[in-house]
Amino acid sequence: MRRLVALDLAPGPGFVAALRRIWDDGDAVLPVDQRLPPPARQELLAAMAPEVVVGPDDERGRRWAGGEARPVEDGDALVVATSGSTGTAKGVVLTHAAVAAHAAAVHARLAVDPQQDRWLACLPLAHVGGLGVVTRAVVTATPLEVHPRFDPVAVAAAGATLVALVPSALDRLVPTAVSRFRRVVLGGSADPGPRPANVVRTYGLTESGGGVVYDGRPLDGVEVRSVDGEIELRGPMLLRAYRDGRVPLASDGWLPTGDLGTVGPDGTVTVHGRRAELIVTGGDNVWPAAVEAVLSAHPAVSEVAVAGRADPEWGQRVVAFVVPRLPRHPPDLADLRAAVKERLPAHAAPRELVLVDRLARTTLGKVRRHPLPDR
């Protein structure tokens, strides 16, 4: 049986070298988020049960002493911890075949030439958005530059032609820095605003090895359908199982995503959001992302999140949680309602405004909706 090796290293050449070595040994890699405090790190290791932990002072690794290790199967390449925005961490098991299939599909869509292109990895390597850059480069022998963290100045000075970012990171780059890249692969959260022509919006899951829909079009080899409004995926890059042995795939290979959306007659995929995020107010459906797109363009709004709250009359009411651009001059509810009504049906306009100092986000920039205050 093959081993699961926890890679507890900071992003950089050492991480890439260790990943190559572990794969050459036939073992699988569990990347450990370097920002986790010690208790959370131990919880992760206990849940994933690696046999070996490789740290900065243990090039060959040390045996994990926190409990009984569980092996992986032949062909397993990665175990990536994910819980979405909430919940207990799951370990997504991706095989070498799945990693290679995803890399080939992405490179075909982006017309990547290993002789001309160079990837930049500057997102956390414990998440598939950052880790996927490294694995694509490794399996396709494409040059790679790895930064220890996202730094706008360092990214602007990078010699890469390809980079993967999340919206919050892209917003911190000046336009001249963005234009230096041939392609900017944007994922991590919904991003409805205008972007430069070299930015490619993606949709995908950790369970799909990363983005599998680029600018609304599935990658080659990826099938997408909508069943009762829920998006389902099928393709060679999907996970084998979760670390606990559960297999979320149907017998015919389809993966329910938990995201609601549609697939048009021409195959264009439109994602509305997570099923749990849908707001039903007075019998009408409201998607937070659509309202957020309107409100984020308001000159008095710095950041915004929209969620539903229980309402005795409407079932749910639409609530806007806003970080004001100027705290002494925040927007008022009537002004925001008017802005939404200009672009969306009246039932989408917020019925309550909550001013906040900041919005809690995941490490990839997604708003954590569950801790949004009731008032």
**Residue 39 three-state SS:** helix
Global pTM reads: 0.80
Percentage of residues in the chain having pLDDT higher than 90: 73
Q: Where in the chain is the domain with CATH 3.30.300.30?
A: 278-355
Q: Where in the chain is the domain with CATH 3.40.50.12780?
A: 4-271
Give per-residue pLDDT as tens, 292-309.
989 999 999 999 999 999
Is 131 in contact with 31 (CB distance < 8 Å)? Answer: yes
Residue that is written with structure tokens 């539903």 in the block: 308
Question: Within a 13 Å sphere around the CA of 156, how many CA atoms are in the beta-carbon half?
Answer: 11
Question: How confident is the model over 89-112, as a mean pLDDT?
Answer: 96
Q: Is pLDDT above 90 for 277?
A: no
- N-term to C-term CA, the chain: 53
Superfamily designation of domain 4-271: ANL, N-terminal domain (3.40.50.12780)
11 pLDDT band (50/70/90 cuts)? very high
Find how far residue 145's CA is from the centre of its chain.
20
Amino acid identity at 336 = L
Q: Which of 266, 261, 94, 107 is nearest to 185 (CA)?
A: 107
Superfamily designation of domain 278-355: ANL, C-terminal domain (3.30.300.30)
- pLDDT of 374 reads 56
